């Protein structure tokens, strides 16, 4: 096993799953790993190309619509297809389902960012050919997708025909049975222009409701002098190349595909043509080298090196590679639950970004982390509007599910009611400031978001008869327990916001604070209100059992009958009515335990241990977000073997298809969670009062663990062996950290 690659040697097995795993993307454009030549109906394919933040909006149909319910959905679209290249050898169609496959291998190179497919094929006439397909979605030129094919006839000379197309006749998948898969209108794009200009072809399509347009274009280079003919249809343009090939002589064929859209490009057609023209000046190798250079810098900062566990090493690198492929790199985009590899969850952005994915970028590539927060700032006005729709007179309420900023979640108990999305975003803003010390960001964007979030959270709370600040009728991270009072997680993260906003305010210049007061009609007495609410925040606690209730009513419910629930009934959300779940003590994922991880100092270690042991028994981990948190906290309480077991279910969840739905797209939050499991779990890293703390203890089978941390403009190189850690300052000035509660100076 090579930990820098993912290799497949059986094209027939789990084809849709591998379309996801071999997807290539760059944060703007994503292409599923479908075969260029296609497949018959016997092997089903979900062929897809997606643009981050490009969506269609439709009216949400309710049987009974109440005030404040979202009006419209937003769904990522499968856009114009440029993957198709058909190959004919002496008149016979090349297909892995016909003829004889003498050799097959597909390789995703994580270090170089290229997918390579190697094939030795014999036609029914006995003609043998070796084919090498390479594809990449460029990190350097985000609009560009490339396919390169090398063709070598082994035992014959004859005729070769290559048929390449750009096709606007595309659709999305629809599933009414699984809420995790998109349910949008399958046919959302309409072709409005089909243009041939010399040897370049362009298809432009538009959406009906979101009023967005996309252009997909293609052109080609061929090392042999083949005749090219172009056929223009109403939705599809086909380029055919025909010529003679000689035994033992390779030819190379490269397809250039460029995408532009109206959200990023002022004149999408003109700019597309310009990008295509510029790209054609360079061969495939040029972009292959640029891809390698980009990833060299990424891995230099982001790689985790495990000595002694090749399987987990491969899983981690696979996950981190897909994260950098998926993360949005402009103000129009974020990172969706399925990245750019599939249509699951309709391409929506969730709280996953801030709590599970943001930490990886924060501590390795802080500029990308800041970009994720920049996106939240661009939709702040939508959040203000949503707050008013929900009856709040002040502040901002961020959408639970969105692409362009509007709330898109039609099921409010496990959607809109999850007000913790607000304090999740606030938590990440605070963490970003503590890690980066970026006062400019806080002055221009961060503090404005914090104020509006704090106002909203203060508005929904109230003081009870014991003068404790309470938050009623919300849903925490656990979606099997909805609409509760005083969800511990929500309350403790709100307390964190209230405790920190005044401290950060005092770091801002007078000019900045005066500007915020004027712009937001903000008065400093509001800071006193926040501070008082933080001091008096009600955090549910059962003193008799030394346990933290998930909410006010949780311990009063009947425990779910796990013993008599058959395996085929999991995940429970697909087999039981929500009310059945809400009436029981059963958790879909970490909730209170997640609160303990994020704000560990709010509880003593004995309580955390008790809570861990209690909630572990009633948590199904039906969410992919769960096992990483249980791994991290198992390490914290000293259950190191258990921590490794949970980590195994995190690091390779997609590679091994552990949740049986990776065909619909990767699980980006779980991928971020695998990084957290190592750095926050086995290395025991925490940020407490602006100081890095480490409590290291790596798995027994690991000889060593190495990774880097970007912290306060410093690069720290961390080397761990068993329960020891050695930290070197690779860049920046000395600083103090804590290792097992002992202060160390790193210089």
Q: Concatenated DSSP letters for 381-411?
A: HHHHHHHHHTT-SSS----SSBSSSS---S-
Which pLDDT band, with edges at 50, 70 and 90, does 490 fall under? very high
Domains identified in the chain and CATH numbers? 5-56+73-294 (2.70.98.40), 303-341+624-747 (2.60.420.10), 365-620 (1.50.10.10)
pLDDT at 174: 67
Query: What are the pLDDT digits (tens) for 229-287?
Result: 999 999 999 999 999 999 999 999 999 999 999 999 999 999 999 999 999 999 999 99
- How large is the average pLDDT for residues 514-541? 98
Instruction: Answer left, alpha or beta for residue 739, where phi above 0 means left and psi between -120 and 50 means alpha.
Output: beta
CA dihedral 74, 75, 80, 84 (to 10 degrees): 170
* Integer Cα distance of 61 and 123 in angstroms: 52
Query: What are the pLDDT digits (tens) for 161-191?
Result: 999 999 999 999 766 555 556 545 678 999 9
* Integer Cα distance of 95 and 88 in angstroms: 9
Query: What are the pLDDT digits (tens) for 379-393?
Result: 999 999 999 999 999
> Cα dihedral sign for 706, 710, 711, 712?
positive
Res. 710: pLDDT tops 70: yes
CA dihedral 433, 436, 441, 447 (to 10 degrees): 0
Percentage of the chain modeled with pLDDT above 70: 98
Res. 457: pLDDT tops 90: yes
Decide: 258 and 272 in contact? Cβ < 8 Å. yes
**Average per-residue pLDDT for the chain:** 96
User: Which residues lie below 8 Å from residue 366, measured CB to CB, with a gap of 6+?
Assistant: 432, 435, 436, 438, 710
pLDDT at 1: 85
pLDDT at 392: 97
Which two three-digit tokens encode residue 166? 């750009």
Residue 721, strand partner residues: 724
Three-class SS state of 647: helix
**Catalytic site residues?**
479
* Integer Cα distance of 122 and 120 in angstroms: 7
204-209's contacts with Cβ under 8 Å and 24+ in sequence apart are 204/168, 204/268, 204/269, 205/79, 205/80, 205/168, 207/55, 207/56, 207/57, 207/77, 208/56, 209/56, 209/57, 209/58, 209/72
pLDDT at 181: 60
- How large is the average pLDDT for residues 41-63? 92
What does residue 339 show for φ and ψ, rounded to 5 degrees?
A: 60, -140
* Integer Cα distance of 738 and 747 in angstroms: 14
- How large is the average pLDDT for residues 647-672? 96
Three-class SS state of 252: strand
Q: With both helix axes pointing from N to C terminus, report the angle between 284-302 and 310-326 in degrees, rounded to the nearest 10.
A: 110
Decide: 291 and 112 in contact? Cβ < 8 Å. yes
User: If we measure between CA atoms, which residue out of 654, 675, 674, 6 comes closest to residue 342?
Assistant: 654
Res. 12: pLDDT tops 90: no
User: Which residues lie below 8 Å from residue 332, measured CB to CB, with a gap of 6+?
Assistant: 52, 53, 263, 264, 375, 378
- How large is the average pLDDT for residues 443-469? 98
Residue 691, strand partner residues: 688
By the 10 Å C-beta count (0-12 exposed, 13-18 middle, 19+ buried), 145 is classed as buried
User: If we measure between CA atoms, which residue out of 164, 133, 129 comes closest to residue 245?
Assistant: 129
Res. 295: pLDDT tops 90: yes
pLDDT at 175: 60
Write the CA distances from 423 to 290, 432, 693, integer angstroms: 39, 14, 23
By the 10 Å C-beta count (0-12 exposed, 13-18 middle, 19+ buried), 63 is classed as exposed
Question: In this structure, what DSSP letter does residue 210 have?
Answer: S
Which pLDDT band, with edges at 50, 70 and 90, does 547 fall under? very high
Helix (H) or strand (E) holding 497: helix 488-505
């Amino acid at each position: 096993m090579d930990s820098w690659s993912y290799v497949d040697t059986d094209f027939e097995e789990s084809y849709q799953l591998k379309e996801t795993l071999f997807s290539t993307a760059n944060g703007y454009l994503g292409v599923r790993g479908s075969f260029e030549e296609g497949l018959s109906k016997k092997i089903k394919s979900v062929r897809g190309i997606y643009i981050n933040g490009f969506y269609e909006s439709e009216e949400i149909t309710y049987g009974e619509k109440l005030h404040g319910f979202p009006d419209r959905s937003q769904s990522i679209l499968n856009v114009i297809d440029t993957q198709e290249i058909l190959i004919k050898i002496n008149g016979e169609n090349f297909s892995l389902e016909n003829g004889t496959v003498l050799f097959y291998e597909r390789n995703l190179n994580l270090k170089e960012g290229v997918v390579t497919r190697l094939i030795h094929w014999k036609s029914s006439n006995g003609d043998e050919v070796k084919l090498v397909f390479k594809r990449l979605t460029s990190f350097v030129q985000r609009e560009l997708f490339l396919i390169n094919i090398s063709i070598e006839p082994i035992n014959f000379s004859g005729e070769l025909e290559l048929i390449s197309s750009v096709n606007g006749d595309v659709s999305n998948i629809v599933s009414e049975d699984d809420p995790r898969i998109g349910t949008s209108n399958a046919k959302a794009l309409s072709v409005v222009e089909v243009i041939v200009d010399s040897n370049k072809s362009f298809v432009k399509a538009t959406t009906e409701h979101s009023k967005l347009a996309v252009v997909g274009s293609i052109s080609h280079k061929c090392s042999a002098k083949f005749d090219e003919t172009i056929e223009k249809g109403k939705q599809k343009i086909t380029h055919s190349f025909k010529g003679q090939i000689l035994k033992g002589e390779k030819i190379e064929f490269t397809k250039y595909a460029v995408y532009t859209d109206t959200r990023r490009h002022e004149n999408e057609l003109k700019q597309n043509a310009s990008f295509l023209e510029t790209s054609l000046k360079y061969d495939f190798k040029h972009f292959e080298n640029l891809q390698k250079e980009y990833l060299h810098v990424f891995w230099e900062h982001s790689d985790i090196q495990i000595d002694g566990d090749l399987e987990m090493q491969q899983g981690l690198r696979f996950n981190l590679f897909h994260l950098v492929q998926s993360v949005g790199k402009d103000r129009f985009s974020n990172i969706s639950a399925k990245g750019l590899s599939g249509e699951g969850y309709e391409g929506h952005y969730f709280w996953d970004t801030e709590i599970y994915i943001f930490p990886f970028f924060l501590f390795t590539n802080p500029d990308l982390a800041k970009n994720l927060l920049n996106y939240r700032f661009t939709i702040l006005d939508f959040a203000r509007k949503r707050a008013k729709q929900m009856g709040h007179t002040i502040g901002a309420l961020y959408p639970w599910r969105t692409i362009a900023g509007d709330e898109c979640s039609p099921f409010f108990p496990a959607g809109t009611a999850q007000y913790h999305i607000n304090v999740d975003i606030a938590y990440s803003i605070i963490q970003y400031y503590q890690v980066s010390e970026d006062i400019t960001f806080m002055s221009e964007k961060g503090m404005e978001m914090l104020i509006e979030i704090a106002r909203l959270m203060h508005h929904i709370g109230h003081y009870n008869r014991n003068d404790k600040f309470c938050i009623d009728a919300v849903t925490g991270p656990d979606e099997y327990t909805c609409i509760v009072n005083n969800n511990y997680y929500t309350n403790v993260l709100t307390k964190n916001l209230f405790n920190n906003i005044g401290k950060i305010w005092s770091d801002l210049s007078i000019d900045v604070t005066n500007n915020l007061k004027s712009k937001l009609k903000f008065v400093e007495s509001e800071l006193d209100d926040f501070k008082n609410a933080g001091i008096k925040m009600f955090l549910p606690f059962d003193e008799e059992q030394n346990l933290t209730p998930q909410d006010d009513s949780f311990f009063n419910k009947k425990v779910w009958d796990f013993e008599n629930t058959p395996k085929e009934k999991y995940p429970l959300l697909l087999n039981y009515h929500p009310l059945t779940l809400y009436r029981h003590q059963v958790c879909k994922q970490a909730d209170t335990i997640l609160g303990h991880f994020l704000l560990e100092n709010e509880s003593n270690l004995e309580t955390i241990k008790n809570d861990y042991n209690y909630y572990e028994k009633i948590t199904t981990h039906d969410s992919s977000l769960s096992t990483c948190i249980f791994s991290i906290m198992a390490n914290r309480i000293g259950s190191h073997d258990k921590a490794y077991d949970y980590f195994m279910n995190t690091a390779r969840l997609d590679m091994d298809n552990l949740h049986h739905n990776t065909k619909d797209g990767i699980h980006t939050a779980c991928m971020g969670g695998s990084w957290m499991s190592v750095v926050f779990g086995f290395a025991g890293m925490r940020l407490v009062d602006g100081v890095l703390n480490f409590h290291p203890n790596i798995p027994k089978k690991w000889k060593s663990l190495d990774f880097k941390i970007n912290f306060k403009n410093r690069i720290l190189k961390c080397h761990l062996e068993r329960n020891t850690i050695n930290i070197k300052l690779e860049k920046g000035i000395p600083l103090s950290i804590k290792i097992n509660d002992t202060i160390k100076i790193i210089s």
